[in-house]
Structure 1
Amino acid sequence: MDQMTDMMKMMPASMMQDSMMQNMDMMVMQECMEACNACMQACTMCSDAMSGMDGMGMCASMCAMCADVCSTMMKMMMRPMSMSAETMMPMLQACIAMCRACMDECAKHADMSETCRMCMMAAETCMKACEKMMASMGA
């Protein structure tokens, strides 16, 4: 087990201010954090690779935005004491929407670019992890 997993297991969900968040599965949140981190990395690398290619400006920009949203989502989850459904639900929805848009854009190039294919897969995994986290919150 890694250190982050150990820390998440020690997080006292009962100390969260929002009752909806108190019942959330901390391991589901850990999985979501890991998926957001992996997606942020894949999107950053894809954005960098695509930024130098002709006609790939939309892909590069979409990946850069997705990386930013995933990074912010991950940072919010690292602060569970201040979580509330009021703030987490819209952020999870935004992350899902951004991952879907990035996934769709990278899918257009996945057969010609291994970077886009890997980014597409990371975005899909992150989208599903965010959906699972929302479900664990009772949404």
Structure 2
Amino acid sequence: MKRRHQEEIISLETSNKAKVLLVEESYQRREFRLREEIEQISADNLSKLRNLEDEKSSLIASNYRRIEEVEKSKSAEISRMREQHHQEIERMKQDHFTAIEVLRKTKEHELKGYSPPPTTPSPCSSLWSR
């Protein structure tokens, strides 16, 4: 009986060791698969990260080019508007001087046609002769 008991214990220990070995092997295979999966996911994520960084750099460069183009366009528009403003001021000055000249000639013509009475000199006559 003792011997049979001893054999049962040995049989159970052997069976238990075999089960433990199977479980260990199963977990080792699973750990290996999970490590491979983690490495693959890491590689995929690294690739995606590099692609996104490249895209980001491209977008930043594109935006800087667009900003530069807009600034050049704005600068050209400001220069054009300044030149247009300067030309308009010059035209207005010319119109003003032309109007003053026409007015002066009209006044001179009126004064030549108008002769004041000889007894009273006009106080404004000195102003018109300028």
**TM-score range relative to shorter protein:** under 0.3
Per the normalisation by structure 2, the TM-score is: 0.26
If asked which structure has higher relative contact order (CA below 8 Å, sep 6+), I would say 1
Task: Flag the structure with larger Rg.
Answer: 2
Q: Give the helix-richer structure, 1 or 2.
A: 2
